[in-house]
Structure 1
Amino acid sequence: MATSLPMSPQLEQIHGEIRDIFRALANGFQKLDKIKDSNRQSKQLEELTGKMRDCKRLIKDFDRELKDEEGKNPPEVNKQLNDEKQSLIKELNSYVALRKTYMNTIGNKKLELFDNGAGASEPMGEENFQMASAMSNQELINAGMKTMDETDQAIERSKQVVHQTVEVGTQTASTLKAQTDQMGRIVNDLDSIQFSIKKASQLVKEIGRQVATDKCIMLFLFLIVCGVIAIIVVKIVHPNNKNIRDIPGLAPPVPSRRLLYAWAGPNLY
């Protein structure tokens, strides 16, 4: 539907898009009356619902642009534009109400098909299956209460499982912490043992060097003692051997005075 209202290019574009959606909605609802299959009707109604959402968004854009241009237009023009906005909103609300009517109709059709066709398509024993439409209000309430009790029991079981899981997790965390502390102590002990082994190795090396030095000294002293004993033995066996030098303290005393007298006597006379 064309309009002669003075609009800016932005408003005119938005207004045209809204009118296009209204025409699509009108055609869609006309097609909806001709569709007999409830599933196809539901699909068509979903498409129309999407178009209504787009129309609502465009009306918001129209209102926003209208407020931005309100200071530029005369009061009478602003009034006409606001009236047009209200008209767009009313028309959209009419389609929304029509959508609700069709949704109720389609829902009733599906329920009727379910009531009439469920037993024929999948027959089941009356002792095991009872349709909701054939149940009284008290039976529905009892069934609902039973379902709620079963749900509460399932929730309680879930809570117990969660509680047990939390306890197991707490115990596992405590065990892991204790094992972590134990591993830390083991690492510290290993460090101490490694340090002790290093100190012991150094001490063994020092003791080895000291023992080697002591052995060398003992060997040298042993050789000296052996040499002294050998000289003593040879001196005792061959006392007149001039090739063996006298050992201090073992040689016989020398008559020094007599020799001195024999040497100095002639010179005095």
Structure 2
Amino acid sequence: MDLSDVSEELALIEGQINDIFRALSNGFQKLEKIKDPNRRSRQLEELTDKMRECKRLIKEFERALKEEESQNTHNTNRMLNETKQSMIKELNSFVALKKQHASENKRIDLFDGPGGGDVFAEENVQLASSMTNEQLIDSGHRMMDETDQAIERSKQVVEDTINVGAETAAALKAQTEQMSRIVNELDSIHFSMKRASQLVKELGRQVATDRCIMAMLFLIVIGVVAIIIVKLVNPNNKDIADIPGLPPPASRKLL
């Protein structure tokens, strides 16, 4: 391509892409000579990073091409589009080569999409500038379907979140009521313990009073018993009055 017909930005990007293609070519030649599986895996990872960078540059090339499309001639735009498609095909060839080596090395191909196709497979990465109206419409319909599905999933997530929030609120309310009942029960227990303490004090005072009365009665009984004993031992002792219930002394019996 005649670089004099394109801008410096496009020429710079194309030069960077060509440098990466040369590095990829040399890297795959070097990979064929490596026997150690670990070294082969590291080499494949490095080549994969270079292919990702190349893919980014091709998209940058397309962006710059669209910006300058109105300024270029028809032939220049056609030549630039052909250059872009050529770069995509060359990158796809390196991707296929990388898949082959990855399969031989029994490594999972992380660079491929979930469907296992090429990174720049025609149905997945066909650029908008090269699509027909029908393809653009189909692509738009797919994007709308995916958007609708994403919205439905978002609605489901919101609904689940609301349900979880309601359940959490109900649980918190039940726990609050339970805590309130526990506080009321603790107040009742505290009052009962206070009342019991008062009763214990009153009972202690009553027991102390009963003991004093019993002690006085015991002293009275001891006194009476002592008087009885002395009277029986010395019946002539006039200092001791007659005790009710005992017979009088013999000298005082009626004639």
For normalisation by structure 2, the TM-score amounts to 0.52
The equivalences for 1:149-160 within 5 A come to 149-160=145-156
Cα 1:230–1:248, aligned 2, differ >3 Å: closer, same or farther? closer
Aligned CA distance change for structure 1 residues 236 and 138 (closer, same or farther; 3 Å): same
- Matching of residue 174 in structure 1 with residue 170 in structure 2: yes
Deviation sequence 1:226-255 (CA, Å, 0-9, x none): 21123123313421134x5215656959xx
| TM-superposed deviation, 1:182 | 0.7
Greater than 4 Å deviation, 4+ residue runs: 106-111, 113-116, 125-128, 247-253
In structure 2, C-alpha distance between the alignment counterparts of 1:173 and 1:216, rounded to whole Å: 64
1:88-103 superposed matches below 5 A: none
From the CA coordinates, give the structure whose radius of gyration is larger: 1
Output aligned runs, 1:5-154, within 5 Å.
36-38=8-10, 104-105=67-68, 112=81, 114-123=84-93, 124=118, 126=121, 129=124, 131-132=126-127, 133-154=129-150
* Larger RCO of the pair (alpha carbons < 8 Å, separation 6+): 1
Pairwise CA RMSD of aligned residues? 3.6
> Does 2:218 match 1:246?
no
Structure 2 alignment gaps of length 5 or more: 13-64, 94-117, 250-255
Indicate how the Cα distance of structure 1 residues 107 and 175 shifts in structure 2: closer, same or farther if over 3 A, else same: farther
Structure 1 unaligned blocks of 5 or more: 1-32, 41-101, 254-269
Among the aligned pairs, what percent are the same residue? Answer: 53
Deviation at 1:174, TM superposition (A): 1.1
C-alpha distance in 2, partners of 1:108/1:240? 159
Cα separation, partners in 2 of 1:185 and 1:126, compared to 1, 3 Å: closer
Closer/same/farther in 2, CA of residues 207 and 130 from structure 1, 3 Å limit: closer
- The aligned counterpart of 2:17 is none
Residue equivalent to 1:90: none
The structural deviation recorded for 1:201 is 0.8
